[in-house]
Amino acid sequence: MIGYCNTGSNADAYAALTPSDREARAIAQGVKIHGDKYRTGLATSFSHHWRQTPYPEASWHSPSGGPDAPAFTPLNRAAGRVCFAGDHLSYADAWQHSAFTSARKAVTALHARVLAQGLA
């Protein structure tokens, strides 16, 4: 289970910590959401800052404009009864965060469409 995934300055702040300090900080945040089971149920952990990996050769990019960059507008718009979602439709591609971001955008648009048509 992924307990903590962050980007940008938040990721850099975690990278500056020792592995045990990263674990303690992530657990403290997780306990706020999931209760003490988040702490007591932990068997092991691992954390890594991808910028510290030389030559990752991954498909990561950050187009200017962030998540609402014009490049994504046509693809994030429903095509009739079809909504598209996936990490490839988000500014933070190639990771679970981007898939969730894209799915949330599609579901939010679908919900707004249903409400506008009085179907709810």
Q: Give CA–CA dist 117/114, Å, rounded.
A: 5
Which pLDDT value is given to residue 32? 92
Which pLDDT value is given to residue 115? 92
**Number of CB atoms found within 10 A of residue 4's CB:** 16
| Contact indicator for 89, 67 with CB cutoff of 8 Å | no
Tokens of 15: 């990278």
Nearest to 38 by CA among 47, 46, 26: 26
**Number of CB atoms found within 10 A of residue 38's CB:** 18
| pLDDT (tens digit per residue) in 4-15 | 777 788 888 888
The one-letter amino acid code at 33 reads I
- Full set of structural domains in the chain with CATH: 8-52 (no CATH), 66-116 (1.10.10.1620)
Three-class secondary structure of residue 95 per DSSP: coil
Angle between the 8-15 and 19-34 helix axes, to the nearest 10 degrees? 130
| pLDDT (tens digit per residue) in 66-120 | 556 777 788 888 888 888 888 777 766 666 777 788 888 889 988 998 999 887 6
E-assigned strands of the chain? none
